[in-house]
Amino acid sequence: MTRMVNCVYLKKEAEGLERPTYPGELGKRIFEQVSKEAWQQWLRQQTILINEYRLSPIDPKARKFLEEEMEKFFFGEGASDIDNWKPENQ
């Protein structure tokens, strides 16, 4: 049976994640309040951030930055504007 969540990002009930995707308290909040669809949108945003800012996932500063961006994406003011980047449909 599919687990449903009231997705904080999409503002609707949607299919939830199958398992926690991130550790700690933030990971627990994401598992309980973020849908699969919203998680996929975050992964695209994270890829853009990594590429645009040339981040290394093994760098602790980069990981902290990505975690802060993830929290803003789901629970704050939304995705940060990225210098020099425009969505393909514009």
* Domains of the chain, start order: 4-75 (1.10.3880.10)
pLDDT of res. 57? 86
Question: CB within 8 A of 15, min separation 6: which ones?
Answer: 2, 3, 4, 5, 35, 36, 37
Q: At what angle do helices 60-75 and 36-52 cross, to 10 degrees?
A: 140
pLDDT of res. 79? 73
Q: Are 59 and 67 in contact (CB under 8 A)?
A: no
- What percent of the chain is helix, strand and coil (3-state, nearest 5)? 50, 10, 40
Q: Are 10 and 75 in contact (CB under 8 A)?
A: no
pLDDT of res. 88? 53
pLDDT of res. 90? 43
Burial of 49 (0-12, 13-18, 19+ CB in 10 A): buried
Q: Output the tens digit of pLDDT for each of the chain's 90 residues.
A: 789 999 999 999 999 999 999 999 999 999 999 999 999 999 999 999 999 999 998 999 999 999 999 999 999 887 776 665 555 554
